Amino acid sequence: MKAILVYWAVYFALHSALASSRAKTMVHARCPGFPYRLAYNILAVILLLPAAWLLRGHPWPVLWEFDGNLKYVSWLLQGLAMAGFLFSLRYYDMRAFLGLKTESETRFTISPFHRFVRHPWYCFALVLIWSSDMNSGRLATSIMATLYLFLGSWHEENMLIERFGERYAEYRNRVPGLIPLPWKYLSRRDAATLVK
């Protein structure tokens, strides 16, 4: 258990440090034109492999499993989260996100999912994480990933406020971060007004 917790702590700290504007600026100062975003994504995937080995290669004690009707509820939640994630892809420039093309200056936009939660992908990830059967290794991973999503979203939003200023600050005040709240969202008209 300790090994997987330490690994995730190191992984997420490194992931955050490399995601910073400072790290990217330092690399580009030494190597102009270096495909930083692409290299960042490749490294993130490679560094997941030891964690996958730890999780699959160890007989972790089972903590709970969804049985009977709860199994169908679990599948439904996971299916909805995956469908939401796939549907949301149309609102992102995935080539720029993956680092397959030069990142361009983007304007502030609000997709349909962003009207209800500021970080839809993180929201879908939380549903996938916590609607699965759980052993002790997966629980440690789930706790660390949840903490990282909350802390990472805070770090990301500081950069978004620097980038978009008062409009993003107002958006953050009006829409919840990772967990949708029925009474706190933007109508289509409000979203359109905010991005003008």
Q: Element (H or E) spanning 137, and its range?
A: helix 136-164
Asked whether residue 156 carries a pLDDT value surpassing 90, the answer given is: no
Check: pTM over 0.85? Answer yes or no: yes
pLDDT for 97: 81
- Residue 165, SS3 per DSSP: coil
Count of beta carbons in the 10 Å neighbourhood of residue 48: 11
* Strand positions, DSSP E, 34-97: 62-64
Tell me the pLDDT band of 104, cut-offs 50, 70 and 90: low
pLDDT for 41: 93
Rounded Cα distance, 31 and 124, in Å: 36
Tell me the pLDDT band of 163, cut-offs 50, 70 and 90: confident
Q: What is the pLDDT of residues 27-82, one digit of tens each?
A: 988 888 889 989 999 999 999 999 999 888 788 999 999 999 999 999 999 999 99
Give me the domain span that covers residue 42: 2-195
Asked whether residue 1 carries a pLDDT value surpassing 80, the answer given is: no
Asked whether residue 102 carries a pLDDT value surpassing 80, the answer given is: no
Domains identified in the chain, total number: 1
